[in-house]
Chain A
Amino acid sequence: MNIIVPVKLVPDLVEELSIDASGTALDTAWLRMIINEFDDHAIEQAILLKEKTGAHVTILSTNVEGVDDLLFAAAAKGVDRIIKLNGDIESGVNNHALSRAMSTIIRDLKPDLILTGVQAHNDLDGSIGPQLAEYLEMPYIGYISGVNVSGDKVIVRKEYPGGLIGEMQVSLPALLGIQAAEQPPRYVAISKVRQMMKTMSIEELDLSSLDSSGAPIVNRLFQPESGERATMLSENADEAANQLITIFKELGTL
């Protein structure tokens, strides 16, 4: 079975985000990138399938800072082929453009199964999975937390709100949006990652054209603003405690 896992790097929220001069995008100068958490689960699920039933796993990611580390770490976990996609990514590409451009590349790789993270925190124009499935004319099921292969079909567990799990069967080829792998993403020792850096090479492919049309246009990106009805407490714990006492007294609860 040929499994393709398209993953992306997203802004790491450990650093404070700032808005750029245009007021419509993040300032990339101080941005640290990290693998989208759900994509990390998609990689883990692909490796679990490889271990259970045998599969060839390929990972694709766009060429932004941090992509080499991501790909070598995936290789150390057991991924067979690592590819980075070149193109005019830095100018702020959206999921519409990315899924269009990736669909031609992925079609050539002749996948049986595509796994990708069900969503990412920077999906401003919808998650990438369903869009990719549309261009590839494949069935899509999202919010998946378990995958079993049975012949030319897979049986998946889909999570619903309220703690319900649905089990459904889908014919291959298909695209699944992974909510959680069957086990948390594994740890891989740094020495193994370093070994991969010496022995494995990253293939590079070009994203032909990036067409962002069809997506909503961002008019304004901004930090949350405090509403007029909210009372903001001091950051100083003692002052905040005094403020709270006054408020509780005013409200008659003290």
Chain B
Amino acid sequence: MATTAISHTPSFSETFFNSLYKGENGERFRTCLQCGSCSGVCPFGYLMDYPPGRMIAGLRADEFDLVMETDTVWMCVSCYACAQICPSKIPITAGLMTRTKEELLLAGNVPSELQSALENSQRYGNPMGESPRKRADWTMGIQPQVTVLGRDKRPVDVLWFVGDYPSYHPRVQLVTKSLAKVLNALGLNFGILGPEENSDGDTQRLAGERGLFEMLAEKNGRMFSKYQFERIITSDPHAYNALKNEYPALGISYPVQHYTQFLAERIDQLKPLLKQEVQAAVTYHDPCYLGRVNGIFNEPRILLESIPGLKLVEMAHNQTTSLCCGGGGGGMWLDGFQWEKAHARLSEWRVHEAVDIGANILAVACPYEPPRFEDAIKTIPQASKLMVKDIIELLAEALG
């Protein structure tokens, strides 16, 4: 008797689950307890049709196509709060959320705000659509002159990967200039790529554009290989995360530090230079990609405490429980979309916390944050006296 083979075409859920399962720590998706911690801790979980816990339930029930019909996942700011709290250590942000965004993007389902940031990144190497030729324009007037490797053709000890917002955003350029001032004060031999630098691509990757990330990484990798330097530093935790954790898999591997690590190592040289007092109660906001994702909690605080007169106070959410500013995972380019859904900004919650603790200054260490928090302050009357400063701006002030 002939046996009849029952043909089975795998459903989208099955195919997708299999692809997740094959990813790093993917087998942990089977160990989900459905405890709901991820959905509870997610800053936008309360308004998602399918918060992370339900997404996993949908996956296991072979009903993930229902998730794909919603735009839930575009509320995800890739802040790693879910992955951090998960008792089964399921790679929710790196695996589930990012892969879901990738699938939506491949199907052409992208909010239009995000679309233009991705198109700009592809075309101009930065999400704002600024001229690539003007990437080093912020250096104008700085003395001694900032070395641009392609122009000045000399080896340096430190390659400073500047990043998109630090290069172009008028507010964040002030942070960038402060870092140049501190590096010069320490007499360091550093240089930048200038017009040859492209976006690090990490936030584009977390917004689901893996191919774009790889393209940008390859371009940066080609430039790195042209020049001589000992190490890379950056003021951007997203660039730091990409260079440290993602580029090596593409064969682009260099020692990299966030500037807070780099300067904390040189605190003995730096501290004697900090002569100007900064009389203020300062609270520090741990950026997701410096703190929760990469475990850098102490170095920023060491730098702040080295400033004479400065009093460090902690907000209710700090270190691993820090609240996201709302800019990650594509949030930077989904402000309108997320406002329409939430009628709230994550940055406002954070500013409320800083006010509650009685801080005069909200200190940050990520280029997304000064514009986001300063915008939030404008909408909160009781925060009108709160100032936002990157740690490097406070250090530059203390140099006098």
B199 → chain A, closest Cβ, in Å?
Answer: 13
Q: What number of B residues sit within 8 Å (CB to CB) of A? A: 21
- Pick from B112, B124, B212: contact of A184, CB below 8 A: B112
Q: Does A14 contact B (CB under 8 A)?
A: yes
Indicate which residue in A15, A34, A187, A193 contacts B133 across the interface (CB closer than 8 Å): A15
Within 8 A of B (CB), among A166-189: 184, 186-189
B108–A188 contact, CB under 8 A?
yes
**CB-defined contacts of A190 to chain B, threshold 8 Å:** 122, 209, 211-212, 214-215
Query: Does B62 count as interface, using CB distance less than 8 angstroms?
Result: no
**Which chain A residue has the least Cβ–Cβ distance from B108?**
A186
List of B residues within 8 angstroms of A192 by Cβ: 106, 211
- Mask, A19-31, CB within 8 Å of B = 1, is 0000000000010
Q: In whole angstroms, how far apart are the Cα atoms of A184 and B115 in the complex? A: 11
Question: Which of A14, A30, A184, A194 contacts B129 (CB under 8 A)?
Answer: A14
Question: Is B159's beta carbon under 8 Å from chain A?
Answer: no
A191 in the interface, Cβ–Cβ < 8 Å? yes
Determine the chain A residues whose CB is within 8 A of the CB of B124 once the complex forms: 14
Contact B129 A187 (CB under 8 A): no
Closest to A195 in B: B211
A189 and B115 in contact, given A14-B124, A14-B129, A15-B133 (Cβ under 8 angstroms): no
Measured between beta carbons, the chain A residues less than 8 angstroms from B131 are 14-16
Name the interface residues of B116-142: CB closer than 8 Å to any CB of A: 118-119, 122-124, 129-131, 133
Residues on B with beta carbons closer than 8 Å to the beta carbon of A194: 211, 215
Bound CA span A189–B121, Å: 12
Q: Which of B122, B130, B209, B211 has its CB near the most chain A CB atoms (within 10 A)?
A: B211
B interface: dominant SS: helix
Say which size band chain A's interface belongs to: 10 to 19
Tell me whether A189 and B211 are in contact (CB under 8 A). Answer: yes
* In the complex, B110 has a CB within 8 A of chain A: yes
Contact with A along B346-374 (1 / 0, CB 8 A): 00000000000000000000000000000
* B179 → chain A closest CB, angstroms: 24
Q: With A and B bound together, what is the CA distance between A193 and B118 in angstroms?
A: 14
CB distance from B284 to the nearest CB of A (A): 31
Contact with A along B133-158 (1 / 0, CB 8 A): 10000000000000000000000000
Distance of A30 Cα from B133 Cα, bound (Å) = 10
Question: Is B301 interfacial (CB 8 A cutoff)?
Answer: no
Q: Evaluate contact between A191 and B106: CB separation under 8 angstroms.
A: yes
In the complex, what residues of B have CB within 8 A of residue A34's CB?
123
In the complex, the answer to whether B108 meets A187 with C-beta atoms within 8 Å is yes
**7 A-B pairs closest in CB distance:** A191-B211, A190-B211, A187-B115, A190-B212, A187-B110, A186-B108, A14-B131
6 contacts across the A-B interface (CB closer than 8 A): A16-B131, A34-B123, A189-B211, A190-B211, A190-B215, A194-B211
Other than A14-B129, A16-B131, give 5 A-B pairs with Cβ distance below 8 A: A190-B122, A190-B211, A191-B106, A191-B211, A192-B211
Which A residues form the contact surface with B (CB < 8 A)? 14-16, 30, 34, 184, 186-194
